[in-house]
Amino acid sequence: MEPQTRFEETVMAHLDAAYNLARWLARNERDAEDVVQEACLRAFRFYASFHGGNARAWLLAIVRNTYYTWLEKNRAQMQNVEFTDDTVAAVDYDMATTADSVERLLQEDDTRQLVRRALEMIPAEFREVIVLRELEDLSYREIAQVADIPLGTVMSRLSRARKLMLKALKELDQDS
């Protein structure tokens, strides 16, 4: 197969997935585009070591890695408002008691803005597993590879991510 064709099939075919992950991680268009462009260049350069398997997940792993490298470089200028670890640790309330209000919230027609803000509020390590699971429909096995965590951590990470989402939704609802 022509190298150019292979690049098209392995990398360019998954450009939307790459951009979607970068966009949710960076939370703005310009940074997402920069991250994707650099990630594609990396994928291009490391292509020789891709020996088959799930090309989309392979590319997403590179996108994620590129994003965190980029974040390190730019951290000084960043003023992100995120939950701290303490907030995360404190989230362990009984879901049954809050279920009614949250479920009513989620059934409303226009929850798009709410869901988006809630997802943007939770820390990146939790945001990314939600995106990989719900939007990319990756299996736990694939999420473990993309997010570079042990398989046994995927379920607990998702579980905490979802609890944080519920908490964020509730807070946003109270603020409005």
The residues in 26-65 that bind other proteins, with binding defined as CB under 8 A, are 29, 32-33, 36-37, 40-42, 44-54, 58, 61-62, 65
DSSP E strands: which ranges in the chain? none
Question: Can you tell me which of 79, 84, 107, 174 binds other proteins, judged by CB under 8 A?
Answer: 107
Q: How far is the CB of 122 from other proteins (least distance, A)?
A: 11
Q: Which of 120, 111, 151, 128 lies closest to 66 in space, CA to CA? A: 128
Q: Is 159 in the site for other proteins (CB under 8 A)?
A: yes
Instruction: Considering the complex, state which of residue 46 and residue 90 has its C-beta at the smaller distance from other proteins.
Output: 46
Instruction: Considering the complex, state which of residue 82 and residue 104 has its C-beta at the smaller distance from other proteins.
Output: 104
Q: Is 173 in the site for other proteins (CB under 8 A)?
A: no
Question: Can you tell me which of 15, 74, 82, 91 binds other proteins, judged by CB under 8 A?
Answer: 15
Please report which helix (H) or strand (E) contains residue 97, including its range. Answer: helix 95-107
List binders of other proteins among 124-153 (CB under 8 A): 130-131, 133-135, 139-141, 144-145, 148, 150-152
State whether the Cα torsion 24-80-112-155 is positive or negative.
Answer: positive
**Residue 175 and residue 143 in contact, taking contact as beta carbons nearer than 8 Å:** no
Alpha-carbon distance of 33 to 16, in angstroms, equals 11
The residue length of the chain stands at 176
